């Protein structure tokens, strides 16, 4: 599994569902470069159990993320038709109806591979036949990408472990504070709290007050 922090986010063009209903063929994160932060997150599979709780949790905070100049984009290894079908299913039936941010279809599994979150690998058996050594679906990877297209934060959870949207928001706030004020954000920092200068004097001053 690769560490992408500090590196350009891998580029891709893939099918996706946007606005909860429209299937498009060539979705790319490049459209956001120079204008928006992006939280790009992977989930394992459509029509499952933990996944809809995460998708709805991001939707519930979507307006807040967008007010801070951040786009939310989801991705799994299912097809765009599968995404579309799940989007038609009501929330009280386990569906994701009401999700409006883009959901990318990584059917070739190249996006999840390039982001280092594919659970499983391809190998050959004794008969030289190609086999999969795992489920070949995405772990719960999350990547915070800055306006220049560089990954500034990543988090990868195992399949059964749902993510914390509050933490995703906290990391976005931290990056915005750094970009706006040039101050670094100490442990457990949240928006509105004191940050500090990245100097020994700055650290000493912060620690003396906390």
Residues serving a catalytic function are: 51
Per the prediction, the chain carries an average pLDDT of 95
Taking alpha carbons only, the member of 103, 109, 106 closest to residue 122 is 109
- Written as one string, the DSSP assignment of the chain is ----TTSBPPP--EEEEETTTEEEEEE-GGGGTTT-EEEEEE-S-SS-SHHHHHHHHHHHTHHHHHHTTEEEEEEESS-HHHHHHHHTS-GGGT--TT--S-EEE-TTSHHHHHTT-EES-EEE-TTS-EEESS--EE-EEEEEE-TTSBEEEEEEE-TT----HHHHHHHHHHHHHHHHH--B--TT--TTS--B-SSHHHHHHHHHH-
CB 138 within 8 A of CB 42: yes
The whole-angstrom separation of Cα 4 and Cα 18 is: 26
CA atoms within 13 A on the CB side of 207: 7
The share of the chain scoring above pLDDT 70, in percent, equals 100
Which CATH class name applies to 14-163? alpha beta
What pLDDT score was predicted for residue 209? Answer: 87
Q: Residue 1: its pLDDT value, please?
A: 59
Contacts of 25 (CB under 8 A, 6+ apart): 15
pTM of the entire structure?
Answer: 0.94
Amino acid 93: pLDDT: 95
| Section 96-119 average pLDDT | 97
User: Could you tell me the residue ranges of all domains in the chain?
Assistant: 14-163, 164-210
| Cα angle, residue 151 at apex, residues 150 and 154 outer, rounded to 5° | 180
pLDDT, mean of residues 160-176: 98
């Amino acid at each position: 599994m690769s560490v992408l922090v500090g590196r350009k986010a891998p580029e891709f063009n893939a099918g996706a569902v946007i606005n909860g209903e429209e299937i498009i063929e060539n979705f790319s994160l490049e459209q956001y470069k120079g204008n928006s932060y992006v939280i790009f997150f992977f989930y394992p599979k459509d029509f499952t159990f933990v996944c809809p709780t995460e998708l709805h949790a991001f939707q519930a905070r979507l307006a807040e993320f967008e007010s801070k100049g951040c786009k939310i984009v989801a991705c799994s290894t299912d097809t765009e038709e599968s995404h579309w079908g799940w989007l038609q299913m009501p929330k009280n039936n386990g569906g994701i109806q009401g999700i409006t941010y883009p959901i990318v279809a990584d059917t070739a599994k190249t996006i999840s591979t390039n982001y280092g979150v594919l659970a499983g690998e391809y190998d050959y058996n004794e008969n030289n036949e190609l086999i999969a050594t795992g489920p070949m679906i995405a772990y719960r990877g999350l990547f915070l990408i800055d306006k220049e297209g560089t990954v500034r934060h990543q988090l990868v959870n195992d399949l059964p472990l749902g993510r914390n949207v509050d933490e995703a928001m906290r990391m976005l706030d931290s990056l915005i504070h750094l970009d706006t004020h040039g101050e670094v954000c100490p442990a457990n920092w949240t928006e509105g709290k004191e940050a500090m200068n990245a100097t020994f004097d700055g650290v000493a001053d912060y620690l003396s007050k906390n």
